[in-house]
Structure 1
Amino acid sequence: MNKLANAVAAIALVGTPVFAADMPVKAPPPAPAPVYGWTGLYVGGNVGYGWGKADTDVVGNATTVVFPTFLGGFPNNSVAVAGSNTAKLNGASGGGQIGYNYQFSPRWVLGFEADIQDSGERGGNTFAQPFSTPVCTLAAAGPPGVPVVFPNNGPPTCLLTGTLNGTAATTYDAKINWFGTVRGRVGGLITDQVLIYGTGGLAFGRVEVSGITGVSGSINTNAALTPSANAFSDSRTKVGFTVGGGVEGKISYGMGWT
């Protein structure tokens, strides 16, 4: 009886081998999530399209008006015309920017950025500015070209006045040749990879305007003013301010923004 029990026990021991594959194995720990830091220097390029406007003031220098009906010159017939107009400026632009971001807390970022763009923003307009001014139509002098000695060598005396009614018609083109900004930025992180920000600072650019102004009119609707036209141009660097905002996304946990 004891021999049989020992034989069964031996068979049981032989029949239950242990394999290494059946032993539990602990899985490796997961890789840590990438840390999206926003501190660092960046450079980039940009293209865009702008809509704006240009306010143009046209001021003519005072000139002595000569009429066909003059019996003599009268130096006090000085007429100056002026006008203002606004034109839309539209066009593409492109350039580059450089900046630095500093993430001073888990959710807040401060920054500084400068950019410069070549601009294709252009526009123009035509406008007419009416004017009306009193002038002398008859002076105590001889016919044009004939020397006259006035009493006591004094100035000529106006004997008859009239009203000069006319129109100054101006056609002009305005454009922005280039512009740039220097700005501060502050933003909040919606997620580790998405930043919403506001920005503001100095803006500057080169603006140019050119055109021609033609003047025509008559005195009391009968004596016509000899029409004239004068070209003008002006170009200067203007300085102002800019404000705005935007959204940026970080495309990698290294150095990378969109």
Structure 2
Amino acid sequence: MHRLTLASAGFLIALAVPAFAADSITDVPMTAPGFDWTGYYAGLQGGYGWGQSDITATEGAPFAVSPDLDGGFIGGHVAGLWQFDQAVIGAQAELNYSTIDGTDQLGLGNSFGTDIKWFGSLDAKAGFAMDRVLVYGVGGVAFAGIETSQNAPTTFAKTRTNVGWTVGAGIDYAMTNNIVVGAQYRYYDFGSEHYDAPDAFPDRDQKLDLNTFSVRFSYKF
């Protein structure tokens, strides 16, 4: 009987130990999941731009001038992102108000200018997430309101909308589950646009390339 009792107790202990161990494991806190980049975003950006405008005559006496451009910009953006494991893909749109401009002289008192009034883009975005850090590339269709001007000696100015392309890269950091900050570099090629001028001024083609660096603030909904 004594041996039977010991055997029964041992059997019960053997059954209880795995169950106790399983209960203990379920009580241990699991590691918190990484930040999920899936969501919709809206925010602001601001930065500095620099580039060059090439202006060439299309009638009359030939000429070519190339104003160097620089200045600041500020704007807003919206985006939607979807995360699959560590891959992140999505789309974004942004629009900026700009003070990027420059002038070049073609003889005394004959000044040519280029002024980017505004610019923006519709982009695809793809990146690699490391928890709260997202490294990404971006590219798409770019738009800009670009003014050409001349002072020789009266003033002529005309603005047209240019369409081109853009590509860039950036890094974002999620400070909280809703607040994201980042930095981004972009290159824009706005192509060449033809400008008809009044009789006192020659018609011209104007080509423009732009580089930008911006800091960004986004809110994730």
Query: Could you say whether these structures have the same fold, taking a TM-score greater than 0.5 normalized by the shorter chain as the test?
Result: yes
State the partner residue of 2:35.
36
Q: Are residues 256 and 31 of structure 1, via their aligned partners in 2, closer, same or farther at CA, if it must alter by over 3 Å?
A: farther
State the partner residue of 1:257.
180
Q: Are residues 231 and 57 of structure 1, via their aligned partners in 2, closer, same or farther at CA, if it must alter by over 3 Å?
A: farther
State the partner residue of 1:21.
none
State the partner residue of 1:115.
94
Looking at CA atoms only, which structure, 1 or 2, has the larger radius of gyration? Answer: 1
Tell me which of 124, 127, 134 is aligned to 1:195: 134
Q: CA deviation at 1:59?
A: 4.5
Matched, 1:91 2:71: yes
State the partner residue of 1:218.
none
More helix by share: 2
Q: CA deviation at 1:250?
A: 1.5
In structure 1, what is the Cα distance between the partners aligned to 2:93 and 2:62? Answer: 38
TM-score (norm 2): 0.65
State the partner residue of 1:16.
none
Deviation track 1:111-159 (CA, whole Å, cap 9, x = no partner) reads: 101000000001001024xxxxxxxxxxxxxxxxxxxxxxxxxxxxxxx
Secondary structure of the 1:121 match is: strand
State the partner residue of 2:194.
none
In structure 2, what is the Cα distance between the partners aligned to 1:171 and 1:81? Answer: 16
- 1:90-239, aligned counterparts within 5 Å? 90-103=70-83, 105-128=84-107, 170-189=110-129, 191-213=130-152, 231-239=155-163
One-letter amino acid of the structure 1 residue matched with residue 38 of structure 2: T
In structure 2, what is the Cα distance between the partners aligned to 1:255 and 1:231? Answer: 49
Given that residues 34 and 132 in structure 2 are in contact (C-alpha distance below 8 angstroms), is that contact kept between their aligned partners in structure 1? no
State the partner residue of 1:160.
none
Matched, 1:240 2:179: no
Q: CA deviation at 1:81?
A: 1.4
Q: CA deviation at 1:35?
A: 3.4
How many residue pairs match? The answer is 157
Q: CA deviation at 1:107?
A: 0.9
State the partner residue of 2:219.
none
CA RMSD of aligned residues (A): 2.2
Q: CA deviation at 1:34?
A: 4.2
Q: CA deviation at 1:236?
A: 0.4
State the partner residue of 1:81.
61
Q: CA deviation at 1:255?
A: 2.9
TM-score (norm 1): 0.56
One-letter amino acid of the structure 1 residue matched with residue 34 of structure 2: V
Give ranges in structure 2 of 5+ residues lacking alignment: 1-23, 182-221
